Amino acid sequence: MKHKKGHLKNTIKESFRMALEAIRANKLRSSLTLLGISIGVFSVIGVMTAIRTLESSVESGLNVFGTNTFTIQKYPAIQMGGHSRRQYRNRDNLDYYQYEELKRRAKLPLSVSSTTSKRGIKVTYREHQAKKNVFIMGGDEGTLRTFNTTIGDGRNITSQDVKFSRMVAVLGADAMDQLFPFEDPLGKIISIKGMNFSVIGTADKKGEMFGQSQDNYVMIPITTFLQRHANRWTSLGITVEARSEEMYEKTMDETIGLMRAIRKVPPGEDNDFEVVSNAELLDTFAQFTGGIKLFAFAVSVIALLVAGIGIMNIMLVSVTERIKEIGIRKAIGATRRDILIQFLSEAVFLSEFGGIVGVILGVAGGNAVAMIFHIPAVIPLDWAVIGLVVCSVIGIGFGIYPAWRAAKMDPIESLRYE
């Protein structure tokens, strides 16, 4: 038994050595075959790594809203195509009256809050100016909670601030760092488009999403915003928080029914507003990435099939070129199994080496997305293993016929071959 195991081990070791020699002897042919395998594996691993990286960021970063919340808004969270955007643009805006009516009529929600925002407005404090992409956000006492953050220092906007359209502001962490790098902002007066606002609070830091800051904003009462910064394109987002996970669906159904009544949507017609939640964002993103995954898989199958045919071709040529060598090996005691293992090892080695190169390049290429968006890199171990297993199957599947053909050669005929 030990002798058999030792013989098999030596056979595999010798087959591996001879496979390397054969590949070195046919560098161009082997390189082209390796390239085909590498491209096939790279295409699927690269795309899957990029998607896995984005999905990881989405699952943590797209948790935009607080627990058990959803938002009613004019446009979908993710839009594709200009035609659909025109369709949504023709809808009536969600205005403050509709928000107040929903808040007055709704019985199930824990809270109903409103928000809207605009960027490109000049915000300064003495010689310091916030970046041009700072958001001026109109909100109420519930806005920070529904957007999954809290007050870090000072106080929040109150219902009285909203009722009397007070000139007060809460700073996001990045806006605070830009305007007050060395001072405590509480009680200071900032200028927003030439008008003075008193800083009453600062919000806790949320961090980045897709490489963009979620903290570069200045929040003022929603009524103040509408008086001073609204235009004909301004549409509110109305965020509703259910009392519990069990009440979530009922709260959403009640809210949709009330919004249809408030906006006078005829029975039988589609909603003229969107309901956006964390789950909806994730589902939309999954649908988007599903098509990319399918396309990458199709490209990979074609590339790997072509590469497999290349492996079979190179192995058949190799068998033809080495007929005499096969005859000599059989004459000195090599069995059919030894010859089969030798040529099969060569095919599998080609596939695995190409697969490893493809996995490394795919992981590196896919994580370029992480570098671009400044999000944590991901190594999809499951897809790497799947890629290498597929390469093994290709090596065996397309290498078995040439190996079998070499193994069944008659040694006498092989030695006579010129």
If you write DSSP's letter for every residue of 105-137 in order, what string do you get?
A: H--S-SEEEEEEEEE---EEETTEE--TTPEEE
Q: What are phi and psi of 358, to 5 degrees?
A: -65, -40
Q: What confidence tens digit (pLDDT) does each residue in 82-136 have?
A: 546 677 888 889 999 999 999 999 999 998 999 999 988 899 998 888 887 788 9
282 band by pLDDT with thresholds 50, 70 and 90: low
| DSSP symbols for 245-264 | STTHHHHHHHHHHHHHHHTT
Q: What confidence tens digit (pLDDT) does each residue in 1-16 have?
A: 555 555 556 666 666 6
136: its two tokens: 């001026």
User: 10 Å Cβ neighbour count for 371?
Assistant: 11
pLDDT at residue 11 in the model: 61
What gap in Å lies between CA 368 and CA 50, rounded to an integer? 8
pLDDT at residue 219 in the model: 95
pLDDT at residue 104 in the model: 93
pLDDT at residue 197 in the model: 95
Closest of 98, 33, 45 to residue 72, by C-alpha: 98
User: Who's near 339: CB < 8 A, 6+ residues apart?
Assistant: 326, 329, 330, 403, 406, 407, 409
pLDDT at 346 over 60: yes
Q: For residue 375, give Cα distances in angstroms to 5, 59, 210, 285.
A: 49, 12, 7, 17
Torsion of Cα atoms, 98 then 101 then 102 then 105, to 10°: -160
User: Who's near 181: CB < 8 A, 6+ residues apart?
Assistant: 128
For the chain, what are the domain ranges?
A: 2-60+283-416, 69-276
Region 35-41 average pLDDT: 78
Region 396-413 average pLDDT: 74
Sheet strands (E) in 163-248: 168-171, 189-192, 195-203, 208-209, 212-213, 217-221, 237-241
pTM passes above 0.85: no
